[in-house]
């Protein structure tokens, strides 16, 4: 697998002690990675035992050796084919972020675009696409990063976010954390207040504890189908 994210990234298992996750069929219940300190159990575990999580976990297909040997690809397109489960995932994010004064949801291309806009509309926030290079027509700021299979770059339109606006970053999956780090950096360079990062899936490479640039990462399910 690829390199670690080139920023401060460690992961909390959601119980604050590295143990006790409910794991079934390859994925675990929701966890949130808290920054800087070992999170207390009541802070860290989100919706423990929520019956929706098992359905979400079961709906994610794991494809071995895609796009290259050794990568266990977590495919969310199978979840998208099941509207009830897709809605459960969106609802869980909306329930968490509604009423938090979030002005913007920033979605990461491409799969963050599947979840981010629906969350944004439901919580009354604007949606900001963080795009791969040379896709946005206006003036952009850019951030280059390392990922599991190469390097990439995220871009955002100048003026998409105002200084001090509260923003949630959304993607389908966190693996090394490099993509989320780049998104955090990009938004903070524009003066935004990044509240949290939200992903459907976190890979167990991030086991025990993580923080990304000091920002919490909320993960619905954790994949166990992972080849070292």
Ligand X SMILES: Nc1ncnc2[nH]cnc12
Ligand Y SMILES: O=P(O)(O)OC[C@H]1O[C@H](OP(=O)(O)OP(=O)(O)O)[C@H](O)[C@@H]1O
User: Binds 190, which of ligand Y, ligand X, none (CB < 5 to 8 A, cut-off by type)?
Assistant: none
| Site map (CB under 6 A) of ligand X, residues 54-73, x = contact | -----------------xxx
**Cα–Cα distance between 143 and 152 in angstroms, integer?**
9
**Cα–Cα distance between 148 and 50 in angstroms, integer?**
31
H helices, E strands: number in the chain: 6, 12
Q: State the CB neighbour count (10 A cutoff) for residue 125.
A: 24
User: Binds 72, which of ligand Y, ligand X, none (CB < 5 to 8 A, cut-off by type)?
Assistant: ligand X
Write down the least CB distance from residue 152 to ligand Y, Å: 6
User: Binds 108, which of ligand X, ligand Y, none (CB < 5 to 8 A, cut-off by type)?
Assistant: ligand Y
**Cβ–Cβ < 8 Å for 218, 197:** yes
Told to check if 4 binds ligand Y by CB under 6 A, we report no
Nearer to ligand X, 72 or 118 (CB): 72
CA separation, residue 65 to residues 105, 109, 173, 224, 225 (Å): 32, 22, 17, 15, 12
Q: Is 111 tagged catalytic?
A: yes
Which residue of 125, 173, 187, 199 would you call a contact of ligand X, by CB under 6 A? Answer: 173
* Size of site (CB under 6 A) for ligand X: 7
Q: How far apart are the first and last CA of the chain?
A: 7
**Cα–Cα distance between 66 and 108 in angstroms, integer?**
20
Told to check if 171 binds ligand Y by CB under 6 A, we report yes
User: Binds 74, which of ligand X, ligand Y, none (CB < 5 to 8 A, cut-off by type)?
Assistant: ligand X
Q: Is 4 tagged catalytic?
A: no
Told to check if 175 binds ligand X by CB under 6 A, we report yes
Using DSSP bridges, classify how beta strands 72-75 and 61-64 pair: parallel, antiparallel or unpaired: antiparallel
> What residues make contact with ligand X under the rule CB under 6 A?
71-74, 148, 173, 175
Q: Which residues bind ligand Y (CB under 6 A)?
A: 108-111, 147-148, 152, 171-179
Catalytic residues: 111, 148
């Amino acid at each position: 697998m690829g390199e670690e994210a080139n920023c401060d990234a460690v992961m909390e298992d959601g119980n604050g002690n590295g143990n006790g996750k409910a794991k079934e069929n390859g994925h675990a219940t929701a966890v949130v990675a808290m920054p800087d300190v070992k999170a207390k159990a009541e802070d860290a575990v989100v919706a423990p035992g929520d019956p929706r999580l098992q359905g979400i976990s079961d709906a994610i297909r794991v494809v071995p050796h895609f796009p290259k040997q050794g990568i266990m690809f977590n495919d969310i397109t199978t979840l998208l084919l099941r509207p009830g489960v897709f809605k459960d995932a969106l609802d869980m994010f909306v329930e968490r972020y509604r009423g938090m004064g979030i002005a913007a949801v920033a979605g990461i291309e491409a799969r963050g675009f599947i979840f981010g806009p629906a969350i944004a509309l439901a919580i009354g926030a604007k949606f900001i696409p963080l795009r791969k290079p040379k896709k946005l027509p206006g003036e952009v700021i850019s951030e280059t990063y390392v990922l599991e299979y190469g390097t990439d770059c995220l871009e955002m339109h100048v003026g998409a976010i105002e200084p001090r606006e509260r923003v949630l970053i959304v993607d389908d999956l966190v693996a090394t954390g490099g993509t989320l780090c780049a998104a955090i950096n990009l938004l903070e360079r524009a003066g935004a207040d990044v509240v949290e990062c939200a992903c459907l899936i976190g890979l167990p490479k991030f086991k025990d504890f993580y923080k990304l640039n000091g920002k919490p990462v909320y993960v619905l399910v954790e994949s166990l189908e992972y080849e070292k």
